[in-house]
Amino acid sequence: MLGVFDSGFGGLTILKDLAKALPNYDFVYLGDNARAPYGNRSFESIYRYTLEAVDYLFSLGCPLVILACNTASAKALRTIQQNDLSKIAPQNRVLGIIRPIAEEVGKFTKSGYVGILGTEGTVASQSYLLEIAKFWQNLHVEQQACPMLVPLVENNLINHPATEMFVKEYTQKILEREPRIDSLVLGCTHYPLLQEVFVKVLPKSVKITSQGGVIVQKTIEYLANHPEIDNRISKNSGKNGKIRFLTTDSAEFFKKGAETFWHTQVQVESVNLLPNAR
């Protein structure tokens, strides 16, 4: 089984692309809906919550967990990889979704000016700036926090005029600061659901990149380069194409919200991540 984690529903946009590209793999999705959104929480909380989730997915037998959440990737991934993995499961792996974008982002721009849209937590962490600088030294990167977009999506207000108003405001702000931007990365897993709104308000000269395609490509590459992990995923699951949905909130709550992101009915289990509650 391949584990996919998000603070709530947003990671379902990534899971959808992964499940389509890897139809024979089993997935288990965990949304920490009871504690979402993570966007404006402290480093300590996001790190602790993410570590609990990763540990839980490991306990189910996932040798690889993808943090399908920019905020968790920005604030918790590095510490988990560097400090915790060797103690809790040295042979397992955790990957995030910021580095894969950083590796590719230079290919999406002709002008050399890129914009990143994300939650307050992702933007404040500067993770995109730091990671992109490792691969593209001459690229100019401008960031914009879009704090209203996650609550609007979570409340199913995708087609509400307020959503268009905020998308317009955030994109205008970043383009006013740097008009040479020709590529905008949707650096939050909720934002692909607003793709049409972004297309409507942005000038034609600005291309939008969602993360799903890049994450799929990088995951496939990772599995090919790490046969020991790939073999353990098959061993633990049988690669049957099954998806398990878990949430820290109630199953009913998840089922209702997931309709916006998944479009078909899902079977959901409610779980408690704390080790002594398992």
What are the residues binding ligand DGL (CB under 6 A)? 6-8, 10, 36-39, 69-71, 119, 122, 150, 188-190
Q: Answer yes or no: 146 catalytic.
A: no
Strand-pair category, 140-145 with 207-209? unpaired
Report the b/e string of 75-113 with b at 16+ CB within 10 A.
bbbbebeeebbeeebeebbbbbbbbbbbbbbbebbeeeb
| Residue among 72, 101, 95 at smallest CA distance from 187 | 101
Q: Measured between alpha carbons, how far is 167 from 147 in angstroms, rounded to an integer?
A: 11
Q: Measured between alpha carbons, how far is 273 from 247 in angstroms, rounded to an integer?
A: 10
CB nearer to ligand DGL: give 36 or 268: 36
Among 69, 184, 185, 215, the one annotated catalytic: 69
CB nearer to ligand DGL: give 63 or 212: 212
Give the three-state DSSP class for 48: helix
CB of 53 to ligand DGL, least distance (A): 12
Taking CB atoms, the residue at the shortest distance from ligand DGL is 39
CB of 123 to ligand DGL, least distance (A): 10
Which tokens go with 230?
């790939």
Which tokens go with 100?
């894969």
Alpha helices in the chain (DSSP H): 12-21, 43-59, 70-75, 77-79, 85-88, 99-104, 120-125, 127-135, 149-154, 161-177, 195-201, 212-225, 227-237, 251-262
CB of 133 to ligand DGL, least distance (A): 20
Q: Answer yes or no: 62 catalytic.
A: no
Strand partners, 22: none
CB of 36 to ligand DGL, least distance (A): 5
- Residue 52 has a CB neighbour count (10 Å cut-off) of 17
Strand-pair category, 2-6 with 64-67? parallel
Among 76, 188, 206, 214, the one annotated catalytic: 188
CB of 17 to ligand DGL, least distance (A): 14
> Which active-site residues does the annotation give?
69, 188
